[in-house]
Amino acid sequence: MKYQSGPDQIPAMLLKISAPAIAKPVATLINESLATGYIPKLWKTARVVPIHKSGDNTLVPNYRPISLLPVMSKILEKCVYTQLRDYYQYQNYLTPDQSGFRPNHSTTTALLKVCNDIQAGMEQGNLTGAIFLDFAKAFDTVDHGILLQKLKNSGIGDSTLTWFQSYVSDRSQFVSISDSTSLPLPVTCGVPQGSILVPLLFTIFINDLPNVCKTSTVHMYADDTVIYTSKPNLPLEAVLQEQFTGVEKWIANNKLFLNTDKTVTMLFGTAPKLHKLQTPHLCVGTKSNGTLTTVTSLKYLGMWLDPNLSFGPHIEKLSSKLYPKLGALYRNKSCLSPAVRKQIVQQMLMPAIEYGDVVYAAAPQTHLQKLTTLYNSFCRFVLQCNYMTHHCDMLKELNWPSLDSRRTLHLSNMVFKSFSGKLPPYLNMLLPPAVPSSYNLRSRTSTL
């Protein structure tokens, strides 16, 4: 899709090549748009190209729509995005409970926040009840009027608001497959897909959701939202029910839709604590008189969680996913040189193991050993060694650290980022600053 053009048929490469000649006219167009609050209709038309994901290619749900916008609109949106992002950062407007699309934030930092809170509850002998929300097409159902009002409430001035009014109104899109195109249809709701402004605008739209939950914790990564609270016993159900009722009201007021079939609850606690419960599940009702499903395992931000946070299911599913891939590589090993085998492991297999390893680093050794065995299998594939070769010899030959050392390195890097101010505030709080000692450990006459 890199060299695909939008509905104006102007590829980005053409503008890059001709930049010295057209830079000033383009700047004039952008400044005129910002000054007048007007965006040409062509710049608000998207060309949608469906890309097959997997499965039956005759079924529409098996396709991912890719929206291609005119390259000029992308340049304009990038200019607006930079100023809008800097404004919200300067105002410190965005809730600290949002980890999506923000500098120094990631899915890993969000997982660390949520899992650390749950583990802290376990250490205090508490149960933690959590509700994992599933919004139905959240980005595509954003109401334009509500979005504009929230932009105004955040301090956006009238002239800028006029520009955003033009930006979200009178938009259209058409589908393009090979040489065939559909008739354009109007887009009356949702943030414009394919735009650099989409993540920031959606973040602003959902920014006030945590305000609804006064007695529980909310954490979001874009629209992936979890609400949780810790209590000594199951009366936490009443707290979660109250919070969820408020969230449902917020969702209705903001004209979003909740997929109650995929919105689930989960109860966390130590094994002895959960074993004492007669009914180890949560009963949280919905406004449609239904009850949210309680699950015992859940994939959240790419990591499988279990009630004890042992991460056993995550490691099991990770192993069952990677061993078949390794088997396929073994069947084609004759076509691969040692350098290619090493590159495949480093770039295609290792990222899956290392994703979130700082989160599950404290998992029981019996679970971590399964990953070590898998890692050793990677080494054998690269070197084409037999099972009698000791793993230390393989690591030395490849100049690779052990898996434990990799996790320690990643954790150390996380601590360094915290000291450097390159982690979210909610993680920096976990590492309190050092208190200078009044005791002099160095002679006054000594030097470094």
Give the integer Cα–Cα distance in Å for 299 and 262.
12
Give the integer Cα–Cα distance in Å for 162 and 151.
11
Is the pLDDT at 144 greater than 90, yes or no?
A: yes
Q: Which residue type is seen at 394? A: M
> How many domains, in total, are found in the chain?
3
Q: Indicate if 250 and 325 belong to the same structural domain.
A: no
Is the pLDDT at 240 greater than 80, yes or no?
A: yes
Q: Indicate if 124 and 250 belong to the same structural domain.
A: yes
Q: What percent of the chain has pLDDT over 70?
A: 95
User: Residue 79, CB half-sphere, CA atoms under 13 Å: how many?
Assistant: 16
Angle at which helices 144-153 and 198-206 cross, to 10°: 80
Q: Indicate if 49 and 130 belong to the same structural domain.
A: no
Close Cβ partners of 345 (under 8 Å, ≥ 6 residues apart): 378, 381, 382
Tell me if residue 269 falls in helix, strand or coil.
coil
Give the integer Cα–Cα distance in Å for 227 and 282.
13
Residue 121: phi and psi, rounded to 5, are -65, -40
**pLDDT tier at 433 (50, 70, 90 boundaries)?**
low
Q: Indicate if 177 and 126 belong to the same structural domain.
A: no
Note the pLDDT tens digit of each residue in 304-337: 999 999 999 999 999 999 999 999 999 999 899 9
> What value, to the nearest 5°, has the Cα angle with vertex 215 and ends 221 and 227?
30
> Six-digit token pair at 4?
């695909």
Q: Indicate if 179 and 317 belong to the same structural domain.
A: no
According to the model, what pLDDT value does residue 435 have?
A: 56
Q: Indicate if 260 and 388 belong to the same structural domain.
A: no
User: Minimal CA–CA distance to 303: which of 369, 361, 228, 375?
Assistant: 361
281, 305, 329 - which closes a domain: 305
User: Minimal CA–CA distance to 344: which of 320, 327, 319, 326?
Assistant: 326
What range defines the domain where residue 262 resides? 107-138+216-305
- The H or E element containing residue 366 is helix 365-383
b/e string for 424-439 if b means 16 or more Cβ within 10 A?
Answer: bebbbeeeeeeeeeee
Radius of gyration of the chain (CA): 26
305, 339, 358 - which closes a domain: 305
In this structure, of 40-44, 203-207, 419-423, 438-442, the range with the lowest mean pLDDT score is 438-442
pTM of the entire predicted model = 0.90
b/e string for 35-63 if b means 16 or more Cβ within 10 A?
Answer: eebebeeebbbbbbbeeeeeeeeeeeeee
Give the residue carrying structure tokens 């499903």: 293
Q: Indicate if 317 and 373 belong to the same structural domain.
A: yes
Is the pLDDT at 110 greater than 90, yes or no?
A: yes
Average pLDDT over residues 235-249: 92
Mean pLDDT of the chain: 91
> Six-digit token pair at 74?
């992308």
Tell me if residue 177 falls in helix, strand or coil.
strand
271, 305, 339 - which closes a domain: 305
- Cα 163 to Cα 32, 206, 226, 392: the distances in Å are 11, 21, 34, 62
Query: Quick check: is 443 in a domain?
Result: no
Is the pLDDT at 448 greater than 50, yes or no?
A: no
Average pLDDT over residues 380-404: 94
Average pLDDT over residues 238-254: 95
Q: Indicate if 337 and 410 belong to the same structural domain.
A: yes
- The H or E element containing residue 130 is strand 127-133
Average pLDDT over residues 145-162: 96
Q: Indicate if 83 and 176 belong to the same structural domain.
A: yes
Tell me if residue 150 falls in helix, strand or coil.
helix
**pLDDT tier at 443 (50, 70, 90 boundaries)?**
very low
b/e string for 244-273 if b means 16 or more Cβ within 10 A?
Answer: bebbbebbeebebebebeebbbbbbbbeeb
> What value, to the nearest 5°, has the Cα angle with vertex 124 and ends 303 and 240?
65
Query: Quick check: is 438 in a domain?
Result: no
Average pLDDT over residues 287-315: 94
Give the residue carrying structure tokens 């890199």: 2
Q: Indicate if 269 and 320 belong to the same structural domain.
A: no
Query: Quick check: is 49 in a domain?
Result: yes
Is the pLDDT at 114 greater than 60, yes or no?
A: yes
Query: Quick check: is 404 in a domain?
Result: yes
Average pLDDT over residues 263-271: 95
Give the integer Cα–Cα distance in Å for 364 and 209.
36
Query: Quick check: is 82 in a domain?
Result: yes
Q: Indicate if 58 and 20 belong to the same structural domain.
A: yes
- The H or E element containing residue 49 is strand 45-52
User: Minimal CA–CA distance to 164: which of 135, 136, 200?
Assistant: 200
- Cα 267 to Cα 156, 224, 283, 329: the distances in Å are 41, 18, 11, 40
The residue ranking higher by pLDDT, 53 or 408, is 408
In this structure, of 185-189, 253-257, 408-412, 436-440, the range with the lowest mean pLDDT score is 436-440
Query: Quick check: is 183 in a domain?
Result: yes
Is the pLDDT at 241 greater than 90, yes or no?
A: yes
Q: Indicate if 75 and 122 belong to the same structural domain.
A: no
